[in-house]
A and B are shown apart, each in its own frame.
Chain A
C-alpha cells in the first residue's frame, strides 16, 4: 500500500508537469491562430502504412538512445550534488576523437567497435576530470568551469575537424572526418522487427540501444547495490554527514566526474557508429543540454530517464511534420523547456505537500503516532529521499 502510494506520488509530479506543459503549448498555438488539435494529431500520427509506422518508432528510439545516455551522464553527477553542465563539451570531444581514432586503424569488427567505445569513454572521462580537478584543488565551481570547457571543447573539436582529422575534400560544403571502416560500424537491430512480426522500416534501428540498456543497468546497480553508490548518494544528500562518516569527499568528486564523463563520451556514438559513420559540422548538437532536462524529468533514476528520453524523442520526431502543418517546429523546444520547468516546480510542490502531511500526522498527539511507529517514520524517510532526489537535482 505504502509502496503503491509512493509510486503514485513519484509519478504524480511528472504527470502534472506534462499536462501543464501541454496546456501552455496549446495556449501558445492558439495565440498564433492555429489549431492545437492539429498539432496533437501531428504528434501522434505515425503514418498510414505499417512500414511508415515502424519507421516512426525507429526514429523515436534512435533519438531516445543518445538522449538517455546524456540524461544518465548528467544524473550520476546530480546524485552526488554535482552539476555536470559540461556534458555537451565532453561528448563533442569524445566523438570527434573516437571518430578519428576509429578511422585511423584497421581491426576485426568486435575489437574495432570496442576501441571506438573505449576511446570515446576515456576522452569524455578525461575532459570531465578537468572540472573535478579544478573543483577539488582550486575550488572553482563546477558550473562555471564546465560551461567554459564547453566552449573550449567546441572550438577544439572544430579545429580538429578542419585540421588534423579532416577527411573530406578541400572546399567541400560539409567538413567531416574520414568514414569509419565497415568493421567499426555498429550493426543495426532490424532483425528484431521480423522476429516480432512487424513491417521492416526504411531506416536502421541503432544496435547501440543494447549498449545504452547495459549502461543503464550498470549505473543502476552501481548506485543501488555497491558501497561506492551508497557513498555517492550519501554525499549528495548531506556532504557534511558523509565527510563525518569517513567518506573522502574530494575523491568522490573526482570518481563521480570520471564516471559521468565516461558515459557522456558514449552520447555521440549511436549516431556516429549507426548512421553518419563520421563526425562533421552537421553532427547532432545540443544533446548535452537536453540531457540535463531529461535527467531532471526522469528524477535521476535510470528508468525515469528512459521514459523521459522516450518522451523527448517522441516530441522531437514531430518537429518536421509540424513544419508541414504550418506550426513552427520550435514549439517542440518550448514544450520541452516548459516540461522541465513545470516538473521541477511540481516536484517542489509535491515535496511541500508530503512535508505538510508528515507534520500533520506527527502533530496529532501521541496515540496514533505510537500505534504505527514503523509506518510513520518509514514513510517520511522514504519521501525525504525522494524530495532530495528532486531538489538535489
Chain B
C-alpha cells in the first residue's frame, strides 16, 4: 500500500487554482499531498537536527517490518468490526499466533510457522465468536478475558513442551525456527549497484530522504511483508466489491435488516471473527519472523496498536495501512536510535504550530493557545534534551498513537451496530 502510493507520489500538473490543487480531488490525491508534506517536513527536520537516522533506509525498512504485525492485527480488527464484533481480544489472538508460529516453525520451518500462527490465532477467534455471537457476551468483556487466557495458555504450553526439549527453548521461549523465510530486493535500484542506497547516502535535501524511503521499502522485503501489503487491496476488494463483503458489512451496520433479507447473520459473524483471529495470528507470525524465535511478551501491545490503527484509519483498509505505517515508523525509530526520537519533538512542534495557526484562522482561540503552548513546550524539549532515557523512549509508538487519536478522532464513523450484541428476534 505505502509502496504503491509512493510510486505515484509525483504531483500531477494542476489544472485549477492552488486551493483546488491542494484540497480538491479524492482521498487518493489528498493522501498523496499529506505524504509529500510529511516527507518535506521530515527532511527539513533531518537537516536542522542532523539526525540522519530519521529518514535513513534502515529506519524505513524497520518501520515496514514493524508496521506489518500492526497492520495485520488492524486488518483482523477490520473484518470483525465490519461484521459488528468489537475485537479487543486481538492482542490475545496475536499472542496465540506467536506461540503457534514458534511451535510449528521449529519443526516445519517458515511455511509451518505461517500455518501454525494462523491456526492458533483463529482458535482464539473461535473462542471469541462462541462467547459473543452464540452466547451474546459483551464484546469487550470477552476480549479482555481472551487476553488474560491467552497469556496463561501460552505459558502453560511452553512449560509443557519446551522445558526439557532437546531442540532448545524454555519456559518463556521456543527453539529457533528451522528455516528463515525468503526475502526479496528490487534488482539494480536497491540491490547489486544499489542506486537508491547510493543516493540516500549523499544526504541531499529531500532527494536522499525519498531515496531512503524507497530503498527501505524495496530492499530485503520479507515474504510475509509482501503478503501483508497485498492483503490490504485484497481486503478492500473482498469487503467492498463482493456479495460476501456486502453481506458481512450489513451485519455490522444493521443485523436485523440483514437477517430479514436472508443473510445468515450468525454465520457471517463467525466467519468474520475467525478471519480476524487468523489475521491477528499472522501478525504474531510476523513478529516471530523478526526474532526468528517465539518469546513471551513479544507482542508488546501491538494488537492494541493495530486496533488503534483501525480506528485512526476510520475502519477502512487504506487508512488502516497508513496508520500502521505511522505507528511502525515510530516503533522503528525508537528501536534504531534514541537520539532520533528527540528530533520527533521538533516535528511535533512544527505540526502543533500549524494546528495553532489553523485554529486561529477559524477563530477558536482557546485551542490555538493550547496548541501553541504545547508547540513551545516540545520546541524547548527539542532544544534542551540530548538523549531520552530508555524508559521514556520505549513508549514512543504508544504516545504517538494516543496523540494521533486525540487529534484526529472526531470525523470517524464506525460501523453502526459495532459492539452491539445481536440476538435473533430480540431486536
Chain A interface residues (CB < 8 Å from chain B): 28, 32, 83, 85, 134, 138-141, 143-145, 147-152, 154-163, 289-290, 292-293, 296, 328-334, 336-338, 340-341, 344-345, 347-349, 352, 391-393
Contacts and interface: CB of A to CB of B under 8 A. Distances in A.
28 contacts: A138-B405, A138-B406, A140-B402, A140-B405, A144-B401, A147-B301, A148-B398, A148-B399, A154-B395, A155-B393, A158-B390, A158-B394, A159-B389, A289-B148, A296-B141, A328-B159, A328-B160, A330-B152, A330-B155, A330-B156, A330-B159, A333-B155, A334-B153, A337-B148, A337-B149, A341-B145, A344-B138, A344-B142
Contacts of A334: 149, 152-153, 156
Given A138-B406, A159-B390, A345-B137, A85 B144 contact: yes
Interface stretch (B57-65, B303-311, B357-365): B303-311
A392 B144 CA distance: 14
A344 B395 CA distance: 33
Contacts of B398: 148, 151-152
Best-buried of A140, A148, A155 by chain B (most CB within 10 Å): A148
A152 B396 CA distance: 8
8 tightest CB-CB pairs across the interface, nearest first?
A: A333-B152, A159-B391, A337-B149, A155-B395, A328-B159, A158-B391, A330-B155, A151-B398
A391 B138 contact: yes
B146 interface: yes
A131 B301 CA distance: 18
Interface of A is mostly: helix
Contacts of B109: none
Contacts of B138: 344, 391-393
Contact of B304 (A147, A293, A329, A337): A147
Contacts of B159: 328-330
B135 A345 contact: yes
B145 to A, nearest CB: 4
B421 interface: yes
Contact of B135 (A157, A161, A328, A349): A349
B137 A333 contact: no
B7 interface: no
A134 B406 contact: yes
Interface string B383-394: 000000111111
Interface of B is mostly: helix
B136 A348 contact: yes
Best-buried of B137, B311, B421 by chain A (most CB within 10 Å): B137
B126 interface: no
Nearest to B426: A355
A250 to B, nearest CB: 15
Interface in B60-82: none
A391 B136 CA distance: 9
Contacts of A329: 159
B301 A151 contact: yes
Nearest to A343: B145
B402 A328 contact: no
Interface string B403-421: 0011101100000000001
A151 B153 CA distance: 23
B289 to A, nearest CB: 23
A155 B341 CA distance: 15
Contacts of B405: 134, 138, 140, 144-145, 148
A336 B145 CA distance: 9
A341 B146 contact: yes
B170 interface: no
B142 A152 contact: no
Contacts, number: 144
A152 B145 contact: no
Contact of A156 (B131, B153, B301, B391): B391
B410 A152 contact: no
Contact of A162 (B140, B389, B401): B389
A333 B141 contact: no
Interface of B: 88, 127, 131, 135-138, 140-142, 144-149, 151-153, 155-156, 159-160, 301, 304, 307-308, 311, 389-395, 398-399, 401-402, 405-407, 409-410, 421
A110 to B, nearest CB: 34
Contact of A140 (B136, B389, B409): B409
Contacts of A336: 148, 152
Contacts of A340: 145, 148-149
Given A134-B405, A163-B391, A337-B145, 5 more contacts: A134-B402, A148-B401, A159-B391, A289-B144, A334-B156
Contacts of B146: 341
Contacts of A293: 144-145, 148
Nearest to B421: A391
A135 B393 CA distance: 25
Nearest to A292: B144
A141 B155 contact: no
Best-buried of B301, B311, B389, B402 by chain A (most CB within 10 Å): B402
Best-buried of A138, A151, A349 by chain B (most CB within 10 Å): A151
A358 B58 CA distance: 65
A349 B135 CA distance: 7
A156 B392 contact: yes
B402 A152 contact: yes
A138 B410 contact: yes
B68 to A, nearest CB: 20
A32 B160 contact: yes
B307 A144 contact: yes
Contact of B137 (A143, A148, A344, A392): A344
A195 B146 CA distance: 44
A159 B140 CA distance: 31
A156 B389 CA distance: 10
A393 B160 CA distance: 34
A337 B96 CA distance: 14
Contacts of B406: 134, 138, 140, 145
Contacts of B140: 83, 143
Contacts of B144: 85, 289, 292-293
Contacts of A337: 145, 148-149, 151-153
Nearest to A323: B159
Given A328-B160, A345-B131, A138 B391 contact: no
A348 B135 contact: yes
Contacts of A32: 160
Nearest to A341: B145
A333 B95 CA distance: 15
Contacts of B149: 333-334, 337-338, 340-341
A159 B135 contact: no
Nearest to B411: A139
A391 B146 CA distance: 17
Nearest to A133: B406
B301 A341 contact: no
Contacts of B391: 155-163
A331 B156 contact: yes
A202 to B, nearest CB: 28
Nearest to B405: A140
Nearest to A158: B391
A155 B421 CA distance: 36
Nearest to B128: A341
Given A156-B391, A162-B389, A349-B135, A148 B402 contact: yes
